[in-house]
Structure 1
Amino acid sequence: MPVGRTEAQVRPGVEADLGALTDLYNHYVRETSITFDTAVFTPEARHSWLLSHPEDGPHRLMVATDADSQRLLGYATSSAFRPKPAYATSVEVTVYVAPDAGGRGIGTLLYESLFDALAGEDLHRAYAGIALPNEASVRLHERFGFQHVGTYQEVGRKFGRYWDVAWYEKKLNG
């Protein structure tokens, strides 16, 4: 897909991506309220997270890279929604885009690939929590058919203030 002046490609994430994935996530930990993690990670600390997203099954990791340089432009995941067995057909999805790659369709490309990969899985619903305000994320999720189902008021504290989280839901297979 053309992205600005570069071509982007999407593929499943692999172990060789771990450093770049950790660096990108740590940017959001340090600089934004988008994640409620407050301490940065080492690649070693994120290794089990990477392994929890194999190339098949309902829990996936898709990465977008620059076709020429292979630089990480972003990633999207589907993860367990809750640990109890009755939630197995639900996933929580998220997308992170490199700060200098925003507004170029990377999030859309990642979600298209992720939802295509999940199409054959025994999944019923996808959920996304969006720390507010985040109009770009709200627009992205609504574009993919997510509907707002509620907002947790002042549910997380980061950077000395409380943040609301809006929850969105999307029907998947079956």
Structure 2
Amino acid sequence: MSSFATRSAEERDLAVISSIYTQAVEHSTSTFDLEPPDLDYWRARLDGQHPGDHLLVAVDSDDVAVGYAYSWSYRPRPAYQLTRETSIYLDRKVRGLGVGKLLYPALLETMAVSGVHSAIALVALPNPASERLHLATGFEKVGQMREVGYKFDQWIDVAWYQKLLVTLP
């Protein structure tokens, strides 16, 4: 069995990250994107604009990215600055091997260290594996919206998950 580790993403990881996401865009409802973004989109995620913006990768024993997780702006208004939205995507070949349970906590810890108070995640339904991952990493399901996305000729519901990371004085 392969061993995996996590680290901050680097420029050299962006092509793999893009490929993993393109697979999700083209073949799943886990993202509501209909067209894969270009590498400039991923460079913006890598560079971040806020101390709570992070892009981490899970890597195999050859230091090749096999998944990624990132945090980014939840909403543009200033009062949301300590809340970040999270996303995680894994290469199909490593799903079910515990990579998500290694990568997501690393992201959440990095977010907490940078002062993020609240992590928000949206899960397109049905997606029992993602829901299990969020619950296993300490998220709480806080709501669900019906038929908010339309992809592959079907309406898609979304569940909202939240985890509080840092308590301010």
TM-score (norm 2): 0.93
- Residue by residue over 1:30-62, the C-alpha shift from the partner in whole angstroms, topping out at 9 and shown as x without a partner, is 0000000001233245332332278xx211111
The residue identity in structure 2 corresponding to 1:66 is: D
Paired residues of 2:46 and 2:54 also in contact (CA < 8 A):
no
What is aligned with 1:64?
A: 58
Q: Which residues in structure 2 correspond to 1:4-153 (within 5 Å)?
A: 5-52=1-48, 57-68=51-62, 70-153=63-146
Rounded Cα–Cα distance in structure 1 between residues aligned with 2:147 and 2:84:
23
Rounded Cα–Cα distance in structure 1 between residues aligned with 2:41 and 2:119:
26
Which consecutive residues of structure 2, in runs of 5 or more, have no partner in the other structure?
A: none
Q: Tell me the secondary structure at the aligned position of residue 64 of structure 1.
A: strand
Identical columns (%): 37
Number of residue equivalences: 167
Residue 134 of structure 1 deviates from its aligned partner by 0.5
Q: Tell me the secondary structure at the aligned position of residue 52 of structure 2.
A: coil
The worse-fitting range, judged by mean Cα deviation, of 37-46 and 154-163 is 37-46
Q: Tell me the secondary structure at the aligned position of residue 115 of structure 2.
A: coil
**Shift in CA distance, 87/45, structure 1 to aligned 2, threshold 3 Å:** closer
Which residue, 138, 158, 167 being the options, matches 1:165? 158
The residue identity in structure 1 corresponding to 2:115 is: D
TM-score (norm 1): 0.90
- Residue by residue over 1:122-150, the C-alpha shift from the partner in whole angstroms, topping out at 9 and shown as x without a partner, is 22211100000000111111112211111
Rounded Cα–Cα distance in structure 2 between residues aligned with 1:46 and 1:76:
12
Which consecutive residues of structure 1, in runs of 5 or more, have no partner in the other structure?
A: none
Q: Tell me the secondary structure at the aligned position of residue 4 of structure 2.
A: strand
The worse-fitting range, judged by mean Cα deviation, of 59-68 and 127-136 is 59-68
**Shift in CA distance, 13/134, structure 1 to aligned 2, threshold 3 Å:** same
Rounded Cα–Cα distance in structure 2 between residues aligned with 1:88 and 1:150:
21
- The Cα RMSD (Å) is 1.5
Paired residues of 1:53 and 1:61 also in contact (CA < 8 A):
no
The residue identity in structure 2 corresponding to 1:19 is: A
Q: Tell me the secondary structure at the aligned position of residue 7 of structure 1.
A: coil
Paired residues of 2:120 and 2:161 also in contact (CA < 8 A):
yes
